[in-house]
Structure 1
Amino acid sequence: MEIKNDAVIFGILMLILAVIFVTSSSNNKFLKKFYTYVPPLLLCYFVPGFLNWPLGLVSPEESQLYFVASRYLLPASLVLFCLSIDLKGVLNLGPKALIMFLTATFGIVIGAPIALWISGMLFPDIKQALPGEEIWRGLSTIAGSWIGGGANQTAMKEIYHCSDGLFSSMIIIDVLVANIWMGFLLFGAGRYHQIDKRLKADNSAIDELKTRVENYSASIAKIPSVTDLFVILAIGFGATAVAHLGADFITPVMGKHHEFLVKYNLNSLASGFFWLIVIATTIGLALSFTKLKRYEGAGASKFGSVFIYILVATIGMKMNFLEAFSNLHYFLIGIIWMLVHISILLLVAKLIKAPFFFVAVGSQANIGGAASAPIVASAFSTALAPVGVLLAVLGYALGTYAAIASTQLMQWTY
């Protein structure tokens, strides 16, 4: 029986997400062990996929849930994530923290074209993902995910027209490679004193960092009132409305220069969705310099996270598992890409004598985002978890811009 009522489908998706998050936070030994190997994010993508295949309960082509989530919830989540950016706080982390974060971003941007070039020499056919579709379109979504997060990943999918089949394969590469690296970071966190000795790094600044972070967290934390919640929603969806208005104005103007844009591989500038995402991100960044940023203490980014996971579930609903597992050889590109990222990170860390904490959190703030960067940070000290969030939110702001740059470089390798 096929369900065609989106209200019913949405209710099922919300139940799935609730079950995943409740079980992932359970103290049950079996569940703890299970989620050690199976990340909740992976389930949020794949469990809704069973509604499509093999169960055949929903028809993704007829459902409007993905359209609503990508056009309304996605830009709103970007605004709310960027709202909490404390640039002064990031700078107060010290230059080495920011250098390692930006190095991690650079490693991902440059790693994509390098990985594509190397794998293309080894396997010439690897660049052609599906008939009429180039692999760089799929890799652009990984760049968005590894620099920013799920919101930026979806933005890249829409901007560069990555098919659902190719996107399914990219999700597997994204999650598997990212979680393998995260495992190494957590392992290193337990031995950071030895690693810092090899890097000849002075980690005394970490203690000062703990105090600053604890004071900052305490200064903004509050129990949200109904008024706070309405203001947060007004910020997110009000900015989304402005972004839609801006996109509706700019897109026709850019469309008049179609030939020029095609000539220089700048087709994305004629995409309405591109301008929707860029304007929403820019508004979020601008609002972070106002008093509205204090609504992070009332849970602004939590709303953003909820919106993103709803979006993730609607994407997962469109998956076909047969297509997802038919291109696992692209895993090679992901491994090479990650090795480039790691090599650049460690080289710069050695040169500037950065503590391993900045290496780990700088990397995970890009690769894992706000969901896992705090986990890596708290492996060093629970008081440092907010640092992971702080840098990860900066990643959300840079994600769309840097992923577009990386995708342009990938196109030039063809």
Structure 2
Amino acid sequence: MQATSNEVTPLISDHAAVFGLLMMVLGLVFYSSSLKNKYIQGFYAVIPPLLMCYFLPGILNSLHIIDGQNSPLAGIGSRYFLPSCLILFTLNLDLKEIWNLRKRAGLMFITGTVGIILGGPLAVWVTSLIAPQAVGGAGPDEVWRGLGALAGSWIGGSANQVALREILQPSPSLFSAIIAVDVFIAYIWMALLLYGANKTKLLDRFFKADASDVQELTKRMDEQSKTHSRIPETKDFIFMLSLALAGTGLATWLSTPVATYMTENFPQLEKFSLTNGFFWIILFATIIGIGLSFTPARKLEHAGASKLGTTLLYMLIVTIGMQMDISSILSNPGLFLVGFLWISFHALLLIIVGKIIKAPFFYLAVGSMANVGGVASATVTSAAFHPSLVSVGVILAVFGYAIGTYGGWLTAILMQMVSPL
């Protein structure tokens, strides 16, 4: 890209040095968040590590220490790290266990997903009646593009959010504001659910729920965890990386002719992102990951496949964060109203369905967090009820990863339809 007179030369321009700086930031965040200091733990209770991994690189960019907009690192992250971590997240998808959970846990998860898909356009429509400028915009600043990326996060997780960011192409300033909405709204909702975990008996009485199946599930998951978990070996990491990166290469190779065919023969589908090559990369990567879940490769989860996927995801997040302009976070306060209305509809729908089917509060909480929070938040929420129930949160969240990009994409299309012109 040719420099202009308005551009500022960054302090660090060497790409290897910038990448090293980003990895140092990532290491410092996780090291500090693991310290047993009550003040540091109190800080991270309010400002989670995920948010720091977005915003610290954003601060470096805003101060012109690095140049995130013109760096190839973000493109490398989205093209290599993102499909790879999706494959690692979905290769342990346990469809049999999901089917066993279908009656109440599965139904509450699907209810949460529907609440996000329908709540997004409803929140945009209501906000457009009150403050149309908050959900308007033009080109890359069209708000529905950023909210579509948020929908990916609230159905699946951060990987889906980044995938939809690449597909929908919101501006960096809009995406910065969306990240703030995501963290602020999602963590307030998570805090309410964790508070509810301490009031489980009271809430189960409200729902008139029979929690005997939760107790049975706790026992079954505890036995599975003790039986299968093992210490990973070097060959396990090699197998994981080979599957993830080879799958990424295959997905990329398959996506090119499909995107070209769609562009040449169905150009009208551009508005649905079906001519976007990255859309097809993510689709094929997800299919590859789900396909691997039917093979012995799924046993790699016992050696930590999802942990390696999470590592790649955080490496991706710092490369995305380096493109942010921190000064734009509060440029559109109306987005917080959209987020509040959106999550309120999601919660209300869960409460109504939970009351009808007499679901234990555990199923409501984990069904919601498997959507809104992804694997990490679903794990924390499940553990708040019982450590053995962590696997339930992981199973539902992995399913969320499998459908998050496509559910978020559908939500974005619906929000586009109701957005003010």
* TM-score between both structures, scaled by the size of structure 1: 0.96
Alignment-derived partner of residue 391 in structure 1:
396
Correspondence for 2:119 among 97, 108, 111: 111
Whether contact under 8 Å (1:44, 1:309) holds in the other structure is yes
Alignment-derived partner of residue 405 in structure 1:
410
Whether contact under 8 Å (1:129, 1:166) holds in the other structure is no
Alignment-derived partner of residue 257 in structure 2:
249
Alignment-derived partner of residue 7 in structure 1:
16
Q: Deviations over 1:200-245 (max 9, x none)?
A: 0001111111111112223331111111111100110011011001
Q: 1:35 to 1:130 in 2, by over 3 A?
A: farther
Letter in 2 for 1:269: L
Superposed counterparts of 1:248-327, under 5 Å: 248-262=256-270, 265-266=271-272, 268-327=273-332
**Structure 1: which 5+ residue stretches go unaligned?**
none
Report the number of matched residues.
Answer: 410
Q: 1:271 to 1:94 in 2, by over 3 A?
A: closer
CA distance in 1, matches of 2:135, 2:15: 37
Alignment-derived partner of residue 160 in structure 1:
168
Whether contact under 8 Å (1:148, 1:392) holds in the other structure is yes
Helix, strand or coil: the match of 1:223?
Answer: coil
Letter in 2 for 1:5: D
Alignment-derived partner of residue 6 in structure 2:
none
| Cα drift, residue 310 of structure 1 | 0.9
Alignment-derived partner of residue 371 in structure 2:
366
Helix, strand or coil: the match of 2:78?
Answer: helix
Correspondence for 1:86 among 87, 94, 111: 94
Letter in 2 for 1:384: L
CA distance in 2, matches of 1:235, 1:131: 37
Whether contact under 8 Å (2:208, 2:355) holds in the other structure is yes
Letter in 2 for 1:353: K
CA distance in 2, matches of 1:130, 1:37: 34
| Cα drift, residue 298 of structure 1 | 1.0
| Cα drift, residue 131 of structure 1 | 6.8
Q: Deviations over 1:25-82 (max 9, x none)?
A: 222111111111111111111011121112x111113321111110001000000000
| Cα drift, residue 132 of structure 1 | 6.4
Q: Deviations over 1:134-171 (max 9, x none)?
A: 11001001000111111100111111111111000000
Alignment-derived partner of residue 4 in structure 2:
none
Alignment-derived partner of residue 39 in structure 1:
48
Correspondence for 1:68 among 73, 76, 99: 76
CA distance in 2, matches of 1:281, 1:202: 36
Correspondence for 2:32 among 12, 23, 29: 23
Q: Percent sequence identity over matched residues?
A: 43
Letter in 2 for 1:320: D
- 4+ residue runs over 4 A deviation: none
| Cα drift, residue 10 of structure 1 | 1.2
CA distance in 2, matches of 1:338, 1:129: 22
Letter in 1 for 2:212: S
CA distance in 1, matches of 2:227, 2:248: 28
